[in-house]
Amino acid sequence: MRYDVVVPTLGRPSLRRLLEALAETAGPRPGRVIVVHDGLAGVELPNVAEVAYERLAGPRRGPAAARNVGWRASDAEWIAFLDDDVVPAPDWAERLATDLADLPGAVAGSQGRIEVPLPAGRRPTDWERNVAGLERARWATADMAYRRDALVRLRGFDERFDRAYREDTDLALRAERAGFRLARGSRSVTHPVPPADRWVSVRLQAGNADDALLNALHEDWRGRKEPRGRRGRHLAVACAGVAGVTALAFARRRAGVLGVLGWVAGTCELAWARIAPGPRTAHEVATMAATSAALPFAASYHWLRGLVRARRLLGVPGRPAAVLLDRDGTLVEDVPYNGDPARVRLLPGVREALDRLRDAGIPIGVVSNQSGVGRGLLTEAQVAEVNRRIEELAGPVGHWAVCLHRPEEGCACRKPREGLIVEAASALGVDPASCAVVGDIGADVGAALAAGARPILVPNGRTRPEERRWAPEVAADLATAVDRLLEGGR
């Protein structure tokens, strides 16, 4: 059993503690420890002599995107995801090997146990109880291992979840929908309670926006996977408060007083529900009173914001399931038989266009003829180095489908045949007919048509006039092509 460890991080001090614990845990060592740094430039990551870990730059679009960068850089059978604020147990690696050993292929993932140490001798605070909820969370990526093959089929984490919330639940629900099972393991990590100010519970209400997206993707998921929360009560209390203040502003005193009393009653009920199980110190009581007054409004605002965002992301019919792009002349300047990463130059607007696809949750693949390898003009390793450099500049690519054959070999993969389109679509877990293919010459259009995909020609100086004429769809540049794809339709 080969496994790699992937850790997304913002460069928090807790990362050192995690890496040191990984170095000390008993059991088989990971092939690679891949730390995806998704924070601000200039933040230093710790040097831990016992762990030679790899540093990759994240796209700064949240942990889902960072984890995708990590697992796609791995070729191990299993990917063990850890958060940068957990501490693996001394026997974590040994138990991980036991958890994963002989799991049938129908099992896509294995979750470890999360232990949150709470203070002895007093009741936990509201914040401490909130963190302790991780012990009951299902499929939390604080410690979750997935088969790489399953991640490929599921297209990894949905990058539309741009916060550390619900992206793990979405992946688990998609795995179960695809016929996989998820197992519980015996290994464990400790998740210490981090320090927080008194308004942390209000800020956490931003997660309601992710709940709205999750509801749109997986109807009634909470009723099947988790107990229902307080959203209905939050909406009622917030509406009562807004209605009361509005009525008073228009001199509707009776209605205004009733609305304000409803908000006060709801606030008191919420505050007591949070105070009763806690330590009931003066600081805790004051914190619960203040935050309980604001919580229904924050929760309702983020829920409504999430509904609008989910409609924007999901309410456009006709969007492609994946976008497959030619490499030379479409993404980068065309340098014939280029094997030198230093000569890679992105075409204008490429990074911005691809980021828009990623933000919309549309997987990206590259389909490229590289006959220079078959001709002996460059090596496969050089092609891979150039592709890595393109990802450094343009962001992560879900799959690279490359034909290395000479034209006269008559292979099934070289464009304009459909082989690369079929390969990339399969790797991304989509139907080739649901893909869009963007390229700069007739071979790209021909490959798309052969696979039943939607072709968009983005011509340049080497595009022949006849290729423009018979292409079903032509766009002035990549940004325009992406505009059309995101708008849906044809």
Respond yes or no on whether the N-terminal peptide bond of residue 455 is cis (omega within 30° of 0). Answer: no
| Cβ atoms < 10 Å from Cβ of 417 | 18
Active site residues: 326, 328
Angstrom distance (rounded) from CA 38 to CA 41:
9
φ, ψ dihedrals at 404, nearest 5°: -105, 5
DSSP helix/strand/coil, 361: coil
Show the DSSP H helices in 28-163 as ranges. Answer: 63-72, 92-100, 126-132, 148-154
Positive or negative torsion for Cα 465, 471, 473, 478? negative
DSSP 229-281: -SHHHHHHHHHHHHHHHHHHHTT-HHHHHHHHHHHHHHHHHHHHHHHTTS---
| Cβ atoms < 10 Å from Cβ of 226 | 12
Q: Between helices 478-487 and 350-359, what is the axis angle to 10°?
A: 20
CB 91 within 8 A of CB 25: yes
CA R_g for the chain: 26
| Cβ atoms < 10 Å from Cβ of 133 | 11
Strands (E), 103-156: 107-115, 143-147
Angstrom distance (rounded) from CA 262 to CA 235:
12
Angstrom distance (rounded) from CA 395 to CA 59:
6
